[in-house]
Each structure stands twice: as structure tokens, then as C-alpha cells.
């Protein structure tokens, strides 16, 4: 079975460690062009497809890169416009952000944008009001609810696999990042910090366990996670560890996992549902 591969397309300074804070302002050289090329080549080498959740600010800056990604058969979806935490916004601000992001991406790619992933997985128990807004704004799926709980995000008992939110205005598909269940707890492994610190054999084993449940593993990565030359943010010791641990070996690990596991985009994997109008 194919797995799902996704990239949160943002720059090295897009981070939300301080509650309620906005992500950093643009400074220095962007790491996006060189890393997107690496990821696109890796995808082509393995005949894989990917969903790129693109930040609106990034899309405006790199229109040609965005068109290249779409021309190579990958899905463009939305990561919001400004990388603000959903639960730190008002409903009105959130609506404006996701509307602006969708409009920007559709204008550049000339394609319908179906999916949304919140900055730092910030649709949590206190920001579930975001789901009907996404549907009303024309999104057809969400990939923002992490079925775990930590200091920044997650809903501990959220469903671990893809499911449908039956909302008053219709159905919205939810595609959560993957976890394995161990001693009554959901253990993340398939992206970000977890992917970087988890040994390769464990990621492979966990992905096979997810497959046996009949679902794809939903992998995710940020360009900065495969870039050892990026400028560094000033962070606390703990946040520095979360942000930079395991970057040195991440590309090697990703290359190996991509060659071992077939990957596709969310739009392709759930294409039947989108085409039949179920979602
Ligand atoms: Zn992000």
C-alpha cells in the first residue's frame, strides 16, 4: 500500500515556540529553493508523489517554484498565510488567513486547493471551531489534528487514522499524522522532531505496523530538517533540541525510507472520494 508523503513548505525562521507568538519575520537567505529541489529529485527518483502544504507568504515569494512543484504532479495544499497558531487567532482572523492563503495558491497554480494543515498542528480541543470555517472557505480536507498531546499541540484521544468530520455544512476529511499505539499512548514517529530522533529501523517497523491496520503512514517533513547550513534561531535549550536534533542524518534517513516505501499525495490517495463528491 502506498503511504502519504507531505512537506510543510516554509522557511528556516517559521516557528511558534512562544505561545501566541507570530513566527519570525523574513531575514537572511531563504533555504527553500535548494531544499525543494532536493526533495523533488528524491520524489522523482522513487516515482513518488507528495502533498506540499505551502505557506501563503512563501508562495508569493517563490511562484515559479510552486508552479514547478505542481507541474511535476505533486499536490499543492495550504499551510495558512502567516504561520500563526490557530488557537492564538480569533475566528475572524483565522477565516481571513485561510481564505487569503487559498486564494493566493489558487491564483498561482490555477488549481483547486483542497487541503489545509495548521502551523504547528494548532487545531486542538480549544480551536475546533476552525473546522467548519475550513469547510465554509472551500477546503475539503484538514491535516492539523495530532492524536497526541504535548506542550504546544495535539488532542490526546483524537482518532489515529483518516476519518470524516460530519459538520452542519457537510463533510470534511481529516488526515492525521501517523502514530503507533503503545501501552495506551499514541507514539508519533513519521515526521518532524519524531522522525529526526527515531532510528530508521523503528520508523520502518512502525510504518509496517500502521500498514497492517489498513492505513497509509502519513509522513511529513520541513525543508529546514534536511538543511545543515541554515542560519540558527535564538531558542531556549529545550526548544533548540526540538528544532535541530537529528538534522545531520535526516536526509540520509529520508532517502532510505523513500526508497523502501512508495509514497503518494493526499489528493491522489483519497482521489476517489473527492471525485465522487463524498467530500
Ligand atoms: Zn509550519
- Higher pLDDT: 275 or 82? It is 82
* 97 in Cβ contact with 84 (< 8 Å): yes
State the pLDDT at residue 25: 56
d(CA 152, CA 82): 18
Q: 231 with 18: CB under 8 angstroms?
A: no
Which protein residues have their CB within 5 A of the ion that is ligand 1?
8, 10, 119
pLDDT at position 226 is: 93
- CB of 210 closer than 8 Å to CB of 178: yes
Rounded to the nearest integer, the mean pLDDT of the chain is: 92
Domains by residue range for the chain, with CATH: 3-275 (3.20.20.370)
Q: Determine the distance separating the centroid of ligand 1 and the alpha carbon of 120, expressed in angstroms.
A: 5
Q: What angle do CA 11, 17, 19 make, to 5 degrees?
A: 130
State the Cα–Cα distance between residues 160 and 92, nearest whole angstrom.
Answer: 29
The whole-angstrom separation of Cα 7 and Cα 53 is 6
High-pLDDT (> 70) share of the chain, %: 96
C-beta separation of 117 from 143 below 8 A:
yes
pLDDT surpasses 70 at 19:
no
Question: Which helix (DSSP H) or strand (DSSP E) does residue 268 occupy?
Answer: helix 266-269
Mean local confidence (pLDDT), 163-183: 95
Cα-based torsion angle of the residue sequence 38, 42, 48, 54 in order, rounded to the nearest 10 degrees? -20
- State the average pLDDT over residues 148-173: 93
Distance of CA 276 from the midpoint of ligand 1 (Å): 31
The three cell numbers locating residue 215: 492505513
Distance 9 CA to ligand 1 centre (A): 7
Range 118-133 average pLDDT: 97
pLDDT greater at residue 64 or residue 277: 64
What pLDDT score does 22 carry? 42
- Give percent of the chain above pLDDT 90: 81
Residue 256 makes CB contacts below 8 A (sequence gap 6+) with: 200
**Mean pLDDT value across residues 147-155:** 91
Nine cell digits for residue 17: 515556540
Residue-wise pLDDT tens digits, 191-200: 999 999 999 9
CA of 16 to the centre of ligand 1 (A): 8
156 and 165 in contact (C-beta within 8 Å)? Answer: no
Q: Is the dihedral of CA 257, 260, 265, 269 positive or negative?
A: negative
| Residue 23 in grid coordinates | 513566527
Helix then strand then coil, in percent of the chain rounded to 5, is: 40, 15, 40
Per-residue pLDDT, averaged over 134-148, amounts to: 97
Residue 21: pLDDT band by 50, 70, 90 thresholds? very low
Average pLDDT over residues 65-93: 96
CA–CA separation, 17 vs 26, rounded Å? 17
pLDDT of residue 115: 98
What pLDDT, in 10s, does the model give residues 203-244? 999 999 999 999 999 999 999 999 988 888 888 888 888 888
Q: Assess whether pLDDT exceeds 70 at residue 82.
A: yes
Helices 247-260 and 32-45, packing angle to 10 deg:
30
Taking the centre of ligand 1 as the mean of its atom positions, its distance from the CA of residue 70, in whole angstroms, is 20
Confidence tier at 27 by pLDDT (50, 70, 90): low
Query: Is the alpha carbon torsion for 189, 192, 197, 203 positive or negative?
Result: positive
- Of the candidates 60, 68, 62, 63, the residue with the CA atom closest to the CA atom of residue 43: 68
Stretch (H or E) spanning 61: helix 56-61
- Of the ranges 5-9, 15-19, 173-177, which one carries the lowest mean pLDDT score? 15-19
Amino acid at each position: 500500500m502506498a503511504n502519504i508523503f507531505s512537506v510543510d513548505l516554509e522557511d528556516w525562521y517559521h516557528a511558534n515556540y512562544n505561545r501566541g507568538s507570530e513566527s519570525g519575520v523574513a531575514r537572511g537567505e531563504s533555504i527553500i529553493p535548494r531544499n525543494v529541489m532536493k526533495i523533488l529529485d528524491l520524489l522523482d527518483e522513487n516515482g513518488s508523489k507528495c502533498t506540499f502544504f505551502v505557506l501563503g507568504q512563501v508562495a508569493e515569494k517563490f511562484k515559479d517554484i510552486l508552479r514547478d512543484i505542481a507541474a511535476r504532479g505533486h499536490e499543492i495544499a495550504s499551510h495558512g498565510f502567516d504561520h500563526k497558531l490557530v488557537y492564538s487567532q480569533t475566528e475572524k482572523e483565522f477565516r481571513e488567513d485561510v481564505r487569503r492563503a487559498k486564494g493566493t495558491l489558487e491564483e498561482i497554480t490555477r488549481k483547486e486547493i483542497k487541503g489545509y494543515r495548521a502551523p504547528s498542528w494548532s487545531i486542538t480541543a480549544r480551536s475546533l471551531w476552525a473546522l467548519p470555517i475550513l469547510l465554509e472557505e472551500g477546503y475539503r480536507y484538514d491535516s492539523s489534528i495530532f492524536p497526541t498531546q504535548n506542550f504546544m499541540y495535539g488532542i490526546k484521544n483524537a482518532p489515529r487514522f483518516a476519518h470524516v468530520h460530519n459538520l452542519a455544512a457537510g463533510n470534511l476529511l481529516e488526515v492525521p499524522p501517523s502514530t503507533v499505539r503503545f501501552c495506551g499512548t499514541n507514539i508519533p514517529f513519521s515526521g518532524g522532531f519524531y522522525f529526526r530522533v527515531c532510528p530508521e529501523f523503528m520508523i520502518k517497523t512502525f510504518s509496517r505496523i500502521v500498514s497492517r491496520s489498513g492505513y497509509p503512514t502519513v509522513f511529513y517533513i520541513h525543508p529546514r530538517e534536511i538543511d545543515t547550513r541554515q542560519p540558527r534561531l535564538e531558542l531556549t535549550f529545550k526548544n533548540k533540541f526540538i528544532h535541530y536534533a537529528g538534522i545531520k542524518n535526516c536526509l540520509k534517513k529520508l532517502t532510505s525510507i523513500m526508497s523502501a516505501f512508495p509514497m503518494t499525495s493526499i489528493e491522489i490517495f483519497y482521489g476517489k472520494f473527492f471525485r465522487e463528491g463524498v467530500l
